[in-house]
Structure 1
Amino acid sequence: MNDYMTGSVILMAAFILDILLGEPRRYHPLVGFGNLTQKLERLFNRKGNDKPWRTQLFGILAWSLLTLPLPLGYYLLHQDTLLFWCLDAVIVYSAMGYNSLVKHAKQIAAPLMNDDMQQARHFCSYMVSRDTSNLSEQQIARAITESVLENGHDAVIASLVWFAIGGAPLVILHRLVNTLDAMWGYKNPQFLYFGWCAARMDDLLGWPTAKVSSLLYASQALWCRHTSVFNALRNGWRQGRQYKSLNGGWVMATGATVLNVSLGGQGIYDGKIVKSVTLGQGPQVTTADIIPSLNLVRNAAIIFIISCFLVSLIAAV
């Protein structure tokens, strides 16, 4: 079995494990990483660091200590043996979160369909950073669909792509970098300078995988009547570069175009009203669009894994 075939089998195994098992209920590695991150942030991000360059320097040092040793160590130890192939599959499975994405989205869609707005707003706050206390049904549907499309890239497609590029070490690196961005990548007084490196490195690692995710989302326009692959990618390029998050804008604009819905609009973040550019095309997103957005992410993962398998077959000839 060649290296391409082995990699394809590992990706298949990891995705199946995620579908069947979901996130580990106990001893999830990212929980321990999150605890370590909080301790290191308290140690390095002190209020006495009043000079921006010094705070940035401490942020870079803390980022390096948290993200580099583990993937580098695994790369140096890795061997082409059955044991490490199994470990690779477990690592990719641990980095993925499609099953969790489905559970959280359905946890919100169910009360929405039952007109239980209080419950829907409560669970919506688990998935998005905006203020959900006064969101309408349409606004919640928009928030969750945006989150599904963006996290479909961050937590699913990116892990698959980085494994295909450089194996499990790059999967580990991306997952740690993405987690640090979620914890430190805020433009507030606490993290504006300290989290600068975390935010920039997540943007850097997310740039190529966001484009692959957009292509995988757009490819599903092949069986749509309302748009085309070219139009979906064009919206991703035109609208995505106007969005506050370049990588997130690409995948959301492309995905929304395929779903034939419009995303974006007004939201409250940290007490401030933020207005985003319209992403996608068509009518405003509704509760009925949440499940199709999950299917879009699932199909994108399957298309990528099948593509890797076909490449391995070609390489074996």
Structure 2
Amino acid sequence: MFLAVALAALIIEALFGYPQALVRRIGHPVMWIGALIAWADAHWNRASDSFRARRVRGVVLVLLLGMAVASVGLALAADAHWALPEPFAALVLGLVASSLLAQRSLDQHVSAVASALDKEGIAGGRRAVSMIVGRDPESLDQAGVARAAIESLAENFSDGVVAPLFWLAVAGLPGMLVYKALNTADSMIGHLSERHRAFGWAAARLDDLVNLPASRLSAVWLVLAACVIPGAAPREAIRAVWHGAHKHRSPNAGWPEAAMAGALGLRLAGPRVYHGQIVEDAWIGAGRAEAEARDIRRALSLYRAACMIQGLVIAGLVIAVSQ
């Protein structure tokens, strides 16, 4: 049943995404989760409190948030199974779950960076890439803008597409919701800043843990995609993952970024600027650092093929299980 829901969610999101009309009218599930986290951050993370007290409250937040969204997922799944025959219940739950996938919106945002670079030059590229990365856009030249877009595509393929789908297939809608809650908490409070070093500790550690299987799986999908995309290099993708994935400051992001870098003959990561501070990260991949808009489009072709391969594997599993 979980696999059928995952397949339905993948197809619905690929075809329709999450309509902007719904965002304007009722918001988005991640926005609702984010509002709860923001409230807790404002009320439970006071600078006057001790480091220990703030860390404990951060742990409590993660536990309460996980229980809350899991309860919602269980209630929705139970209602669907009670009210509808299994195929229709899977379709309805897939429709709900599709709102927590980002394959279509990720494609659109990264495509916008390539288009902006072509039509408006560096100024347009910086503006477009600022919508999807946290680094200082004014510090980026054209190659930096292109690399930032490709890195965001690779990383978000893992935590915005593969990971939520993985947890949906493994643990149903409750598992997917818990994953999205942890991932949202990490993006909001899981930083090493003075304010969030204690309060966001639990969110950051758990997000690393729940993203571990999907980050490795996303690298597999990208390597397989490199086998079918003309000009891509699957052997170099494997080599880059083997030698470079561990060099990334994130225990997970290096896997899809390395696979993408190797497949496209690029170097990704490297030194970057966040909030005026230079972060001296290692380069990943042995290719060229001078990326262009056409490289973003090549990365998008690889990404789309990886999404298709993932969908075909899930469809195959659904058929196999139903036999």
Question: SS of the counterpart of 2:278?
Answer: strand
**1:296 matched residue in structure 2:** 302
**1:56 matched residue in structure 2:** 55
Note the residue ranges of structure 2 that are not aligned, 5 or more in a row: none
Contact 1:56 1:196 in 2 (8 A): yes
Q: CA deviation at 1:233?
A: 3.2
Matched, 1:107 2:112: yes
Q: Which amino acid aligns with 1:119?
A: G
CA spacing shift, 1:76–1:93, aligned 2, 3 Å: closer
Tell me how far apart the structure 1 counterparts of residues 213 and 89 of structure 2 sit (CA, whole Å). Answer: 26
Identify which range, 246-255 or 73-82, moves more after superposition: 73-82
Q: C-alpha deviations, 1:149-207, integer Å up to 9, x for none?
A: 10011111112211221211111111111111110111111101111111111100000
Q: CA deviation at 1:279?
A: 1.6
**2:8 matched residue in structure 1:** 13
**1:35 matched residue in structure 2:** 35
Contact 2:29 2:100 in 1 (8 A): no
**1:253 matched residue in structure 2:** 258
Q: CA deviation at 1:16?
A: 2.8
Count of residue correspondences = 310
Contact 2:7 2:314 in 1 (8 A): no
Matched, 1:194 2:199: yes
Q: Which amino acid aligns with 1:56?
A: R
CA RMSD of aligned residues (A): 2.0
Question: SS of the counterpart of 1:240?
Answer: helix
Tell me how far apart the structure 2 counterparts of residues 77 and 267 of structure 1 sit (CA, whole Å). Answer: 43
Contact 2:265 2:287 in 1 (8 A): yes
Match of residue 241, structure 2, among 204, 218, 236: 236
Q: CA deviation at 1:107?
A: 2.0
Tell me how far apart the structure 1 counterparts of residues 192 and 59 of structure 2 sit (CA, whole Å). Answer: 16
**2:312 matched residue in structure 1:** 306
**1:219 matched residue in structure 2:** 224
Matched, 1:24 2:30: no
| Aligned 1:88-237 pairs, distance under 5 A | 88-223=93-228, 227-229=233-235, 231-237=236-242
Q: C-alpha deviations, 1:89-138, integer Å up to 9, x for none?
A: 12321111122112211222112112432222122111111111131111
**1:70 matched residue in structure 2:** 69
Contact 1:75 1:169 in 2 (8 A): yes
Question: SS of the counterpart of 1:204?
Answer: helix
Q: CA deviation at 1:217?
A: 0.8
Q: CA deviation at 1:237?
A: 3.5
Tell me how far apart the structure 1 counterparts of residues 129 and 234 of structure 2 sit (CA, whole Å). Answer: 31
Q: CA deviation at 1:292?
A: 2.2
Q: CA deviation at 1:216?
A: 0.8
Q: C-alpha deviations, 1:37-86, integer Å up to 9, x for none?
A: 1111111001111x322211011111222232221342366344446423
Note the residue ranges of structure 1 that are not aligned, 5 or more in a row: none
Identify which range, 160-169 or 133-142, moves more after superposition: 160-169
Q: Which amino acid aligns with 2:159?
A: D
Tell me how far apart the structure 2 counterparts of residues 65 and 233 of structure 1 sit (CA, whole Å). Answer: 40
Identify which range, 109-118 or 165-174, moves more after superposition: 109-118
Contact 1:235 1:280 in 2 (8 A): yes
Identify which range, 172-181 or 14-23, moves more after superposition: 14-23
Matched, 1:282 2:287: yes
Tell me how far apart the structure 1 counterparts of residues 69 and 322 of structure 2 sit (CA, whole Å). Answer: 32
Tell me how far apart the structure 1 counterparts of residues 238 and 75 of structure 2 sit (CA, whole Å). Answer: 39
Q: CA deviation at 1:144?
A: 0.6
Q: C-alpha deviations, 1:222-244, integer Å up to 9, x for none?
A: 23666335x52342243111111
Q: Which amino acid aligns with 1:286?
A: E
Question: SS of the counterpart of 2:273?
Answer: strand
CA spacing shift, 1:87–1:45, aligned 2, 3 Å: farther
With normalisation by structure 2, the TM-score equals: 0.89
Q: C-alpha deviations, 1:242-263, integer Å up to 9, x for none?
A: 1111200111001221122211
Question: SS of the counterpart of 1:173?
Answer: helix
Q: Percent identity over the alignment?
A: 27
Q: C-alpha deviations, 1:13-51, integer Å up to 9, x for none?
A: 3223223322232221222222221111111001111x3
Q: Which amino acid aligns with 1:117?
A: I
Q: Which amino acid aligns with 1:228?
A: P
